Chain A
Amino acid sequence: MVLEATMICIDNSEWMRNGDYAPTRFQAQSDAVNLICGAKTQSNPENTVGLLTMAGKRVRVLVTPTSDLGKILACMHGLEIGGVLNLVSGVQIAQLALKHRQNKNQQQRIIVFVGSPTKHEKKLLEIIGKKLKKNSVALDVVEFGEFDDGNSEKLGALVAAVNNNGNSHIVNIPPGPSALSDALLTTPIFTGDGDGGSGFAAAAAAVAAGGTTGFDFGVDPNIDPELALALRVSMEEERARQEAAAKKAADDAAKQEKEMGQTSVTQDVTMSEPVVTSVMPAADDKKHDLTDDETALLRQALAMSMDDARPDSEAGADTDMSDVVAEDQDLSFG
């Protein structure tokens, strides 16, 4: 719940006519801006958001930082596309707008959308970045569309110059099946620096994901935290158990090699029988209170890990694990 004043810099250059983000880059960007405005104004009632466009005849401030969401959304309509992006002016004017914010307690943040090539030198961007950092302004960059010609490198340098304790981020959103705004939801721009971010962002993320993808085990931790936790704990336990078993197996294998050195028995026999006999007593010694179920499980795990220990089935380890996870999941769901 950071108290923030945010200026959002919109890219309205000619490149925004490109249709690689449905329906056009500009429309996709508008949706993302709307979403960010909503998230910012709802995460704290005193947050303010302002907008400016960076391309065209000149940089134009559409609305100075305000908490009135209607005012922000209204000025998004009827924007003209044209010209080339003037990133440096845009960022500097955004900083000026933030400097004259009403409430000095607000942190300052600039969010820049860049979907066209940056004409400025990397050096210049770094100088601007330093200046922002000096004036304690954070900067988020959303890069989409144009990734060639060192664009990413330039923007990366800009964000790196501003970054102070990880308060500034850069995200690259390539064109894909999910909308630009949806792709943004899981980025640090929405989730914030530390604690799970705003409730709005989380809720919006849940809606966007539709409970199908994006989360571990296909369960949204925000909707059912207990189930998600149970699944995660189960996963961890299983992993720990497998690791322990694998370690034991490795130890035994080493032991066997020694034995093999002494008694020249054929390999297959030693692989299967002595392991079980040698390991089980050790396990029993450690945990006398093992129930029958657990013993059975342990035995199963051991057998599994013995499979892993064989040199030719290393790749099998992962699939085994996912199988087990799937089992656990079913159990939890049931």
Chain B
Amino acid sequence: MASVIPRSQVDLVDFVDWRGVECLNQKSGHAIENALKQGYREDDGLHLESDADEQILIYIPFTQVVKLHSIVIKGPDEEGPRTVKLFTNKENMGFSNVNDYPPNDSIVMSQDDLKAKAINLKYVKFQNVRSLTIFIEDNQGGNDISKVQKIALYGTT
């Protein structure tokens, strides 16, 4: 699944509507910005960490409609995410209704993928994306805490 990102696909970090970004079950001091923002996400010391249990729910709205091509997730070997589900254009999602909708794409990450490899998504399913919800269901080691060092989204506008 892992592949090189085509040149035509750009980093979508510039199109994220930061005021609307929301992350549930994040630990204070280890917030979503550490994994998503330019500069912070390049620093492996800064990471996003789960709080009450291993699940994390991230809601990322965009400033314009985008097409999503691939995603890069970087995390440590043990606490890095394993099952990741992606939903598009779902506002008001909570942990209670993650199973109410079929995910647009579901990824099971290998430890190899966690070394910042690009993962291609079902491109046809991410053609009209106003917002993206990333649900991290569990992690590699089955620990109580999940950690994410970097999330990068590639696509076109």
A105-B19, A133-B25 given; 13 more Cβ-contact pairs under 8 Å: A100-B92, A104-B22, A130-B52, A130-B53, A131-B95, A133-B51, A134-B53, A134-B55, A134-B95, A135-B25, A135-B94, A135-B95, A165-B28
The answer, yes or no, to whether B20 is at the interface (CB within 8 Å) is: yes
What B residues does A100 contact at CB under 8 A?
Answer: 92
The answer, yes or no, to whether A136 is at the interface (CB within 8 Å) is: yes
A interface size (C-beta, 8 A)? 12
Q: Which residue of A lies closest to B22 (CB)?
A: A104
Pairwise interchain contact B24-A136, C-beta atoms closer than 8 A: yes
What A residues does B51 contact at CB under 8 A?
Answer: 133-134, 164
Q: Which residue of A lies closest to B23 (CB)?
A: A136
Pairwise interchain contact A136-B25, C-beta atoms closer than 8 A: yes
Q: Which of A100, A133, A136 is most buried by chain B, counting CB atoms within 10 A of its CB?
A: A136
Interface residues of B in 6-40 (CB under 8 A from A): 19-20, 22, 24-26, 28
What A residues does B22 contact at CB under 8 A?
Answer: 104
Interface residues of B in 89-127 (CB under 8 A from A): 92, 94-95
Q: How far is the CA of A136 from the CA of B28 in the complex (A)?
A: 10
Given A134-B53, A135-B95, A164:B28 Cβ within 8 A: yes
Interface residues of A in 200-253 (CB under 8 A from B): none
The contact of A133 among B19, B20, B52, by CB within 8 Å, is B52
What A residues does B24 contact at CB under 8 A?
Answer: 134-136
User: Majority SS of interface residues in chain B?
Assistant: loop
The answer, yes or no, to whether A99 is at the interface (CB within 8 Å) is: yes
Q: Give the Cβ gap from B43 to chain A, nearest Cβ, in Å.
A: 23
- Per-residue contact bits, chain A 1-17, to B (CB 8 Å; 1 contact, 0 not): 00000000000000000
Q: How far is the CA of A99 from the CA of B92 in the complex (A)?
A: 7
Q: Give the Cβ gap from A166 to chain B, nearest Cβ, in Å.
A: 10
Q: Which residue of A lies closest to B55 (CB)?
A: A134
Interface residues of A in 122-156 (CB under 8 A from B): 130-131, 133-136
What A residues does B52 contact at CB under 8 A?
Answer: 130, 133-134
What B residues does A135 contact at CB under 8 A?
Answer: 24-25, 94-95
What A residues does B55 contact at CB under 8 A?
Answer: 134
**25 cross-chain CB contacts under 8 A:** A99-B92, A99-B94, A100-B92, A104-B20, A104-B22, A105-B19, A130-B52, A130-B53, A131-B95, A133-B25, A133-B51, A133-B52, A134-B24, A134-B25, A134-B51, A134-B52, A134-B53, A134-B95, A135-B24, A135-B25, A135-B94, A135-B95, A136-B24, A164-B28, A165-B28
What A residues does B20 contact at CB under 8 A?
Answer: 104
Q: Which residue of B lies closest to A92 (CB)?
A: B96
Q: Which of B20, B51, B95 is most buried by chain A, counting CB atoms within 10 A of its CB?
A: B51
- Per-residue contact bits, chain A 44-87, to B (CB 8 Å; 1 contact, 0 not): 00000000000000000000000000000000000000000000
What B residues does A130 contact at CB under 8 A?
Answer: 52-53
Q: Give the Cβ gap from A334 to chain B, nearest Cβ, in Å.
A: 49
What B residues does A164 contact at CB under 8 A?
Answer: 28, 51
Q: Give the Cβ gap from B78 to chain A, nearest Cβ, in Å.
A: 21
What B residues does A104 contact at CB under 8 A?
Answer: 20, 22
Q: How far is the CA of A192 from the CA of B4 in the complex (A)?
A: 50
Q: How far is the CA of A130 from the CA of B53 in the complex (A)?
A: 9
What A residues does B95 contact at CB under 8 A?
Answer: 131, 134-135
Q: Give the Cβ gap from A61 to chain B, nearest Cβ, in Å.
A: 17
Q: How far is the CA of A105 from the CA of B20 in the complex (A)?
A: 7
